[in-house]
Amino acid sequence: MRAARRWTRPKAEARSAVNTGQIISGAGHIGLIGWMMFGGWFTSRPLDFQVTEVTAVSYEEYAAIVSGAAVQDDAAEIAPPAPLEPEVPQDAPDLTSAADAAPETPMPDAAPETAPDPVPQPPAPLAEAEVSDEPPTMEQPAQDMAALVPDSALRPQQRPAERVAPQQVDPPEPDTAVDDVVREEAVPDEAAETPREEAEATAPEAAATEIVTEAEQPAPSGSVRPKARPNRPAPTPEPETQTAEAAPAPEPAPTPAPEPEPAPEPAPSADSGGIEDALAAALGAASETPAPAAPSAPAGPPLTSGEKDGMRIAVQNCWNVGSLSSDALATTVTVAFEMSQDAKPIDSTIRMIDSTGGSSGAAKQAYEAARRAIIRCGARGFALPVEKYASWRNVELTFNPENMRIK
Amino acid sequence: MMARFLAPRYLAPRFLALLALCTSVLGAPAVAQDGPLRLEITEGVIEPMPFAVPTFVPGGGTSGQVAQDISSLIAADLSGTGLFREIPASAHISRVTSFSSPVQFADWKAVNAQALVTGAVETDASGRLVVQFRVWDVFSGQELGNGQQFVGTAAGWRRIAHKIADQVYSRITGEGGYFDSRVVYVSETGPKDQRAKRLAIMDYDGANVSYLTDSSSLVLAPRFSPTGDRILYTSYESGFPRIYVLDVASVNRRSLPAQQGTMSFAPRFAPNGQTVVYSVESGGNTDIYTMDINSGAAQRLTSAPSIETAPSFSPDGSQIVFESDRTGRNQLYVMSAGGGEARRISNGEGNYGTPVWSPRGDLIAFTKQSKSRFHIGVMRTDGSEERLLTASFLDEGPTWAPNGRVIMFTRETQGAAGQAGLYSVDITGRNLRAVPTGGGASDPSWSPLQ
């Protein structure tokens, strides 16, 4: 009994103390919430705003400004341009048509139309149309005009894949959603012991390993190629092409343009990764000196090469350098950040700790692209073992775009 | 014989010792990770960056249509680069109803928008448009640069939109834009054997076309001055090819001095805007000259018996790249701006021509004819890293965008009904697309940013 009494008294005292603590805590929280709601905690601070008074003038205004003339308010009221005072005395050239009537050099086809004209006529005053801000007024094409739209067979073909990635990815199935991970469609099965949720199939977006220009693609079949470069000052009809079009002769099979293909990049093989994993595991088991862990994190074995590669691949799949400038593509940045135990980057800790090869502006652009990659692909957490948290709690990623410059 | 048998026995301990040493050396970093996890990322992806431009918030008497037009044009400018991909409004979760409201980044992350442009359009007391905008990095939740505003006439809304797009482009990519620029080109009408040509000028995207000359005489190869206020071109107005300089504002023109009986053509301005480099054909020989546009003083730069033409200055004005057939085939050469010995920079098969120095100074664009096909390509200024970007029946005459990222050129289709048109392509070879001109067009020249 005494023993029981000894145990019940402290319990009652403890219960009283807990109640008091709860009351104090509750009052404190209520006060804190009230202060946050009514004390202006959520009032957003106005963002910096740079007001730049940039006046966008119309073309006629701009043209008048750069020429030193007065600004015209209405393009339609522009007076006929006064002839400019010739800045250079034109006594040397003789522009009379008599001297040029029989040039020794071949003349273009259009020349005979102008040559008989004894006095060169100045072009019609087109200033109104030139400086007008009105929508473009296109002339109606004559009946004998050539087609406005080029032959569809010669139109630029859509690139097979707009996305360039380290690994080639075939186009996904039509009903497949684009995602970073491959997932088969899941259909609810009521008969199954463990019901699974319905999910649509996902697959990565189609990608090529490098940019393929139009010149690097095989030549289109059936194309009649010119025999020689046309002489632009003297354009002449091309009877041979007409003949070829009228009676297309069987051409030899087009040979793909033998463009020098860059040597294939050594792709990381799965076998080597497995060997490295096994080697790392063996080395870890054979080692007598355990890896030092972070003071507040649980110690664990080091990351294997496969685990490191997994994170590296995850980040590089989100590292989009397509919109970077040439300077930024010549800049290597090292970005450090911390991760929570669910393997998600803590956004506020992301910072650039080093940059080489470019200006500060280029480093800023390169860092922003790297930060986007970390945040985007880390949003769902990287595939890292939690028991090795000490090994990946702090991360430093060096983004080296050297290989991407020659894609 | 004995040594042959003993050798493995002696080597075995050494091999094991070496293996142990390698094991200890290689194993140490994997076991004792004494700092942060360090990885090097050397591979990435190249794909258009998803962005969103929700319709700018109209206010102050501005119609919603104007706000819609400006927003759409900004999105079109960015999408047209091939570097960005617009997320359509139908996919937007958030509706921006106030320019000063906080951005709901979670909603934009949900639709995978990586960049966001918000803005507002108002009309001030004098009837001018006041357009404000901000650019956001959605995934970091940070603003790229500061908010900015442009003021202009209602009729100039396209220029305001182009200027905003230039700002957005610059803040994301780190390099200048090219949307607020114009292109002068040769407008072509009529059948191929009676084609009428005249100079035309338009916005970079094909809008606001207007004509600078009539079609009474053949015109060729217009070239903008570095300030965009003048245009050099070649005209047969006198019956002979001669170089003219045209003032864009007044459309007045005058011919440059030339010796009688010679043909002068292929002019380009020097970066100082006062010197013109061009070719002169005399007696079957073509050489390169420079001329002070004010004094008319000319200087001969080449004197080879071959054809030297298509000169183009480097951005710093110190060098000139040109084409020459002095070796029997057209190749590209670089010489000092004052003339002298030239060094050949093109070394591939085929013929090279119409070189143009990039405004950034790092690349030279050119036309190449090889295996009966024409290409537009780029190479380093020393001739290295040549890369062909296009291939067709006839591609020629490249011109650089003001930021040196995009090339516009002429593509002509084959046959009697063949038509010349303008195309543009990124220097990576991506984003090849036709430029709308409403008719036949050739010989483009891109202006500087206005």
**Contact call for B392 and A326, based on CB within 8 A:** no
Sorted by sequence, the CB contacts under 8 Å of residue A17 that are 6+ apart come out as none
What is the spatial distance between Cα B268 and Cα B221, in angstroms, rounded to a whole number? 9
Which of A60, A65, A88, A217 to probe the B interface (max B CBs under 10 A)?
A88
Is the separation of the CB atoms in A73 and A67 below 8 Å? no
The β-bridge partners of B130 are B122, B151
Is the separation of the CB atoms in A370 and A364 below 8 Å? no
Chain A interface includes B432 (CB < 8 A): yes
**Contact call for B134 and A401, based on CB within 8 A:** no
What is the spatial distance between Cα B139 and Cα B137, in angstroms, rounded to a whole number? 6
- In this prediction, residue A207 carries a pLDDT of 77
Chain A interface includes B2 (CB < 8 A): no
CA of residue B332 relative to chain centroid, distance = 20
As a whole number of Å, the CA-based R_g of chain A is 37
Whether pLDDT at B263 is above 70: yes
Number of Cβ atoms within 10 Å of the Cβ of B23: 15
State how far residue A173 is from chain B, nearest Cα, in angstroms. Answer: 20
Give the mean pLDDT of B114-140.
Answer: 93
State how far residue A130 is from chain B, nearest Cα, in angstroms. Answer: 4
- In this prediction, residue A45 carries a pLDDT of 58
Sorted by sequence, the CB contacts under 8 Å of residue A325 that are 6+ apart come out as A362, A365, B173, B174, B175
What is the spatial distance between Cα B400 and Cα B87, in angstroms, rounded to a whole number? 29
Closest among B437, B442, B432, B378 to B411, alpha carbons compared: B442
What is the spatial distance between Cα A164 and Cα B173, in angstroms, rounded to a whole number? 18
What is the spatial distance between Cα B445 and Cα B450, in angstroms, rounded to a whole number? 14
A-contacting residues in B 41-70 (Cβ below 8 Å): 41-49
- In this prediction, residue A326 carries a pLDDT of 85
Whether pLDDT at A367 is above 90: yes
What is the spatial distance between Cα B158 and Cα B172, in angstroms, rounded to a whole number? 21
A184-234 pLDDT, tens digit each: 666 666 666 666 666 667 676 777 777 778 887 766 544 444 443 334 444
What is the spatial distance between Cα B94 and Cα B103, in angstroms, rounded to a whole number? 9
pLDDT grade, residue A173 (50/70/90)? confident
DSSP state letters, B205-255: TS-S-EESS-SSS-EEEEEE-TTSSEEEEEE-TTSS-EEEEEETTT--EEE
**Burial of A235 from C-beta contacts in 10 A (0-12 / 13-18 / 19+):** middle
B chain contacts of residue A206, beta-carbon cutoff 8 Å: none
Helix (H) or strand (E) holding B106: helix B105-110
Is the separation of the CB atoms in A350 and A338 below 8 Å? no
Q: What angle do CA A156, A159, A162 make, to 5 degrees?
A: 140
Closest among A165, A121, A140, A386 to A265, alpha carbons compared: A165
Whether pLDDT at B25 is above 80: no
Chain A interface includes B230 (CB < 8 A): no
Number of Cβ atoms within 10 Å of the Cβ of A193: 5
State how far residue A16 is from chain B, nearest Cα, in angstroms. Answer: 45
**Contact call for A52 and B39, based on CB within 8 A:** no
Give the mean pLDDT of B76-89.
Answer: 95
State how far residue B429 is from chain A, nearest Cα, in angstroms. Answer: 5
User: Model pTM greater than 0.95?
Assistant: no
Chain A interface includes B23 (CB < 8 A): yes
Closest among B99, B106, B112, B101 to B52, alpha carbons compared: B112
| A&B contacts, CB < 8 Å | 481
Whether pLDDT at A257 is above 50: no
Is the separation of the CB atoms in B389 and B377 below 8 Å? yes
Among A282-296, B25-39, B112-126, B336-350, the range scoring the smallest mean pLDDT is: A282-296
Helices B157-173 and B64-80 sit at what angle, rounded to 10 degrees?
40
List the single residue in A49, A50, A211 with the smallest CB-CB distance to B428: A211
- In this prediction, residue B18 carries a pLDDT of 52
Whether pLDDT at A44 is above 90: no
pLDDT grade, residue A89 (50/70/90)? very low
- In this prediction, residue A262 carries a pLDDT of 40
Is the separation of the CB atoms in B175 and A326 below 8 Å? yes
What is the spatial distance between Cα B320 and Cα B357, in angstroms, rounded to a whole number? 8
Sorted by sequence, the CB contacts under 8 Å of residue A362 that are 6+ apart come out as A325, A327, A328, A330, A331, B174
Whether pLDDT at B351 is above 70: yes
**Contact call for A399 and B144, based on CB within 8 A:** no
A chain contacts of residue B134, beta-carbon cutoff 8 Å: 47
Chain A interface includes B190 (CB < 8 A): yes
What is the percent of chain A with per-residue pLDDT over 90, rounded to a whole number?
20
- Token pair belonging to A103: 């040039």
**Contact call for A211 and B147, based on CB within 8 A:** no
ipTM confidence score: 0.80
- In this prediction, residue B286 carries a pLDDT of 94
**Contact call for B263 and A303, based on CB within 8 A:** no
Helix (H) or strand (E) holding A360: helix A360-378
- What is the average pLDDT score of chain A? 60
Residue in chain A nearest B259 by alpha carbon: A93
The β-bridge partners of B120 are B57, B132
Is the separation of the CB atoms in B294 and B272 below 8 Å? no
- In this prediction, residue A13 carries a pLDDT of 55
- In this prediction, residue A172 carries a pLDDT of 72
Closest among B189, B190, B369, B372 to A240, alpha carbons compared: B372
- In this prediction, residue B144 carries a pLDDT of 93
pLDDT grade, residue B179 (50/70/90)? very high
A98-148 pLDDT, tens digit each: 333 333 333 333 333 333 333 333 333 333 323 333 333 333 333 333 333
B356-399 pLDDT, tens digit each: 999 999 999 999 999 989 999 999 999 999 999 999 999 999 99
- In this prediction, residue B114 carries a pLDDT of 94
**Burial of B108 from C-beta contacts in 10 A (0-12 / 13-18 / 19+):** buried
- In this prediction, residue A42 carries a pLDDT of 57
State how far residue A254 is from chain B, nearest Cα, in angstroms. Answer: 11
pLDDT grade, residue B157 (50/70/90)? very high
Measured in degrees and rounded to the nearest 5, phi and psi for residue B410 equal: -100, 135
Chain A interface includes B424 (CB < 8 A): no
